[in-house]
A and B are shown apart, each in its own frame.
Chain A
């Protein structure tokens, strides 16, 4: 079970308190109506799913309730950083 540092609670909390919420830093097109089908499909469905470091969202659902961003290595499960939504990927 992962230990996830919550940047709002400022401590490591067990994975069981969180719910995974998919890849981070996906940008919703500012004017969706102007996005062509390919761009929209990209936004909706296409994910990087990297082998290595991924920026992903978790929600501290049984804690502060906040969505957070986490940098995790998908090979080793090592967590390199966690930060608040809207902050730049370190």
Chain B
């Protein structure tokens, strides 16, 4: 019974994956000999939980086919059963997840590219609960309701479509999409490499190998990469031709040996050239360990290569096109070239009784080779009116029936596999069902011009064959072989050798395939799929055009044809032909969609490389980090910095700790690490003029030994940064910036110094890392410091906003009387290496004075009580100094941003201005970002008058406070407004933005 073709499919379904007397059953579809697999090694693998045997050298696809398994997945939209279509990277259907445990789950791998290894565990996707019983297939019953643009149309429904949002959308979202990402972190390592070479050859088929040989023999540093495990491309399934007098496979082996022996040539298998970028850079993704049963922990899983090549030679081959006919997506319908490759390379018969449908001569090669292998080739249906080239003639001579001018009208499924096809002749209406278990199709070949086009090479249309070929290339890029239109081995080798100026190999024994146009029936209807992966049918393409989506990019987006993991490698040209026919436009006028990297999907791990976790972004710590850790600080991230946020004592939460830190600082003293402040030393005879032109405030008139607050504007007039300008000498300033603005401010200054005012004699140095800053604030700050300082720091000698170089605890320090707390304040700048010693000297004195260390949270409350702004919190890039109540420095001429402040809009009375807000309930702390309105119950659509920018509980006032930007705010002082929150509307009173010590008495003591 096993031998009877009638029952073969059924027996396979019963027995496949089952143990038989303790052994796995052998593969039923493997040939006795031939191919390049190692038949003596049995490799055990599983697919959807069933165990199988394969051979060394198999892909998952070839091993499944050897076991008679065609059904490997469900389609995305209609959940139709789908089989393996292709043999390479272009595979649209056979997407699997490979599970290796411990976060090593990779979804959406093409089974045609997954190398078999002992213990491989693979799963199909898009099915629930199982591949054989997929409830999602019920969706197919609703197919007429799911036309092109279904999602767009439905999502745009009126708000009343509650049923959609609650019921259908979650179902559709669950049913749609490809694969599932693993939920745990990827445990593997990924490496990054840079390389330079004279010649990079992408693709190690006949053309690529000939090109690499020519380049290598000429002494060029050469890289030859190929996406497959084994270099060779079409040579791997070439059994007839002779090259330079020896069989093609022997020529391949000799050539690879010669390349391997050249020290200046690197051959990289399992390496996809996925992107061609400007100025001759190519991205390569090298898969290092995925094919190994037990990868070494010392190896990275994949490597990302960035190769800069003097010359890029593209030998990326061509991709076979499917035919578009009803039922062309059944498991068992596949590309003829793929079937031939499975036979000759892996020794696998894709069926026992096959019918071939073609619009191209090359399918006859499959017919001849399959017949030779003992497969019953029942009929070749040639869609062309005449089939009389050398290859069709050879097929007829071998006794294969050929029906010219035929059509495929339908297919029939039994169980999960094709069991017959309905054929007809174009003209007479006769039709007949043919019994078969595989239907092989070929609609010509599409040159893989992806990399050429990514590099911005032009494309030219060749109408006779219905292909786009490389036109004018980018400089340094050339295409050879099938991707450049070569149709046979001799042409491919000749183009490859010519690219490197080498001798052209002589080919014998190859029956030529005559080129011809692709066949697309513009009226084909029903389940005639153009894009298998995205379930796009010919009907959908016509509908998209009928609805006005005329540009091919629009057709693509509306139908989803050409999206997905395969990016329409097999389907795009058919889609283009259908869209062109529907529009009545020639294909070249419609053009192609844009080719973008990557050619095939690249894992996020490869792109991220080592840049993840701790290596994602540098972590910056201050010179006092260890001291903060020892004090029990809780840290927060501020950009790349780790800053001490608060220092909780036993039993304290953040609020309790912050209240204590604030109150203690106001009552006695506080010590704060302000080292993250940006610092720039501005030096030179024109330093004062330079700063005067960059800041709102009058810097030129600042006396040496004095400090002044400075606000930097963008040329558009908006507040960009702020800080303190300390004039150390007539020609020397110590300028501080915000923590996050440091790099940007320096770049801004450099821009004006280098390009706008190159005549100014001024030099800039970042000193952020040089100086640690210990802020001592509070009424007892001077008491804490004075005994440690060699010099007078009395209010008379060192008043508020003065600066002196002094020794503190024996350490040379730059002492500034500045305050961001509203209290008597000192900021001691000490060289970073001395900062811990200075901290250790100050810390016991702070404690003895009844003071505290405090963190950024207390710093925020202290400054908010005083109404001091934080750039980026009170400002958002639309705030002018006037909005903040700041005036232009006296006697100033032009400075950056000044002209913009005179724009009419900058002077409008209803601009949002900085105000204070006091909520009716003093215990209630408003939410930052909350909107402010005039009514307690504003109707929907009411325009907000402003928003809350900062909000805290103020220990000094014993109540909550907030800062806000409010339209015409200064005129509204005393008004009662509302902050509508989800829990109800909060009444607030508008106040001045300075809540504490508006006269500044506490600063000057």
B100 at the interface (CB under 8 A from A): no
- Chain B residues near A28 (CB, 8 Å)? 715, 756
Residues of A within 8 A of B474 (CB): 76
Q: Is A21 an interface residue (CB 8 A)?
A: yes
Q: How far is the CB of A73 from chain B (nearest CB, A)?
A: 10
Q: Give the shortest distance, in Å, between A61 (CB) and chain B (any CB).
A: 7
> In the complex, which residue of chain B has the Cβ closest to the Cβ of A37?
B903
Interchain nearest-CB distance for A51 vs B (Å): 13
Selected interface stretch from B134-142, B648-656, B746-754, B776-784: B746-754
A79 CB contacts on chain B under 8 angstroms:
279
The distance from the CB of A24 to the nearest CB of chain B, in whole angstroms, is: 9
Whole-angstrom CA separation of A59 from B716 in the bound complex: 21
Q: Looking across the interface, which residue of chain A has its beta carbon closest to that of B715?
A: A44
A interface: dominant SS: loop
Residues in A whose Cβ lies below 8 Å from that of B756:
28
Chain A contacts with B in 52-69, Cβ cutoff 8 A:
57, 59, 61, 65-67
A7 within 8 A of B: no
Majority DSSP secondary structure for residues of B touching A: mixed
CB distance from B637 to the nearest CB of A (A): 24
The yes or no answer to B899 lying at the interface (CB within 8 A) is yes
Residues of the B chain whose Cβ atoms lie less than 8 Å from the Cβ of A3: 279, 308
Q: How far is the CA of A19 from the CA of B754 in the complex (A)?
A: 15
Nearest residue (CB) in B for A65 is B750
CA distance A19 to B747 in the complex (A): 10
Alpha-carbon separation in the docked complex, A66 to B747 (Å): 10
Beta-carbon contact of B903 and A40 below 8 Å: yes
Q: Mark B866-900, 1 if CB is under 8 A from A, else 0.
A: 00000000000000000000000000001000111
Contact of B755 among A19, A31, A32, A67 (CB under 8 A): A67
Interface residues in A10-42 (C-beta closer than 8 Å to B):
19, 21, 28-29, 31-33, 35, 37, 40
Q: Which A residues are CB-close (under 8 A) to B758?
A: 85-86
A32 near B475 (CB under 8 angstroms)? no
A32 to B278, CA, bound (A): 40
Q: What 0/1 readout, one digit per residue, does chain A (1-13) give for beta carbons within 8 Å of chain B?
A: 1110000000000
Residue among B278, B281, B747 with the highest chain A CB neighbour number at 10 A: B278
B900 contacts A40, C-beta separation under 8 Å: yes
The complex places the Cα of A57 from the Cα of B752 at a distance, in Å, of 13
A89 within 8 A of B: no
For A32, list chain B residues within 8 Å (CB): 894, 898-899
A76 partner residues in chain B, CB cutoff 8 A: 456, 474
Report, as a range, how many residues of chain A touch the other chain: 20 to 34
B972 at the interface (CB under 8 A from A): no
Given A67-B754, A85-B755: A59 and B456 interface contact (C-beta under 8 Å)? no
- Pairwise interchain contact A35-B754, C-beta atoms closer than 8 A: no
Task: Flag whether B635 is at the interface (Cβ < 8 A).
Answer: no
Instruction: Say yes or no for B306: interface residue by CB 8 A criterion.
Output: yes
Task: Out of A37, A44, A59, A78, name the residue touching B475 (CB < 8 Å).
Answer: A78
Near A by CB (< 8 A), chain B positions 263-295 give 277-279, 281
Cα–Cα distance between A35 and B456 once the two chains are bound (Å): 42
Cα–Cα distance between A66 and B751 once the two chains are bound (Å): 9
Indicate whether B904 reaches chain A with its CB closer than 8 angstroms: yes
Q: In the complex, A79 Cα to B279 Cα: how many Å?
A: 9
Docked Cα-Cα span, A59 to B748, in Å, equals 11
Q: Is the CB of A44 within 8 A of B279?
A: no
**Which residue, of B277, B281, B716, B899, has the highest number of chain A Cβ atoms within 10 A?**
B899
Q: Are the C-beta atoms of A21 and B904 separated by less than 8 Å?
A: no
Judge whether B278 and A77 touch: CB under 8 Å: yes
Pick the contact of A2: B278, B306, B475, B754 (CB < 8 A).
B278
Report yes or no: A75 in contact with B277, Cβ–Cβ below 8 A. Answer: no
In the bound complex, CA of A2 to CA of B308 (Å)? 10
Q: Whole-angstrom distance from the CB of A22 to the nearest CB of chain B?
A: 10
A43 to chain B, nearest CB (A): 8
Nearest-neighbor residue (CB-CB) of A22 within chain B: B751
* Complex alpha-carbon distance, A32 and B750, angstroms: 21
Residues of chain A lying within 8 A (CB to CB) of residue B898: 32-33
| B306 nearest CB neighbor, chain A only | A1
Nearest chain-B residue to A27 (Cβ)?
Answer: B756
By a CB distance below 8 angstroms, the chain A residues around B903 are 37, 40
From residue A69, how far is it (CB to closest CB) to chain B in Å? Answer: 9
Pick the most buried of A29, A57, A75, A77: most chain B CB atoms within 10 A of its CB.
A77
Q: Which of B278, B751, B900 contacts A1 (CB 8 A)?
A: B278
Q: Which residues of B lie under 8 Å from residue A19 when comparing CB positions?
A: 747
Check B281–A1 contact: CB distance below 8 A. yes
A35-B899, A75-B456 known; A67 and B750 CB under 8 Å? yes
B281 touches A44 (CB 8 A): no
5 A-B interface contacts by CB (under 8 A)? A40-B899, A44-B716, A67-B755, A85-B755, A85-B758
- Chain B positions within 8 Å of A, measured between CB atoms, are 277-279, 281, 306, 308, 456, 474-475, 715-716, 747, 750-751, 754-756, 758, 894, 898-900, 902-904
Given A33-B899, A33-B902, 16 extra CB contacts under 8 A: A1-B278, A1-B306, A31-B894, A32-B894, A32-B899, A37-B903, A37-B904, A40-B899, A44-B715, A59-B747, A61-B747, A65-B750, A67-B750, A67-B751, A67-B754, A76-B474
**CB-CB nearest 4 A-B residue pairs:** A32-B899, A77-B278, A3-B279, A85-B755
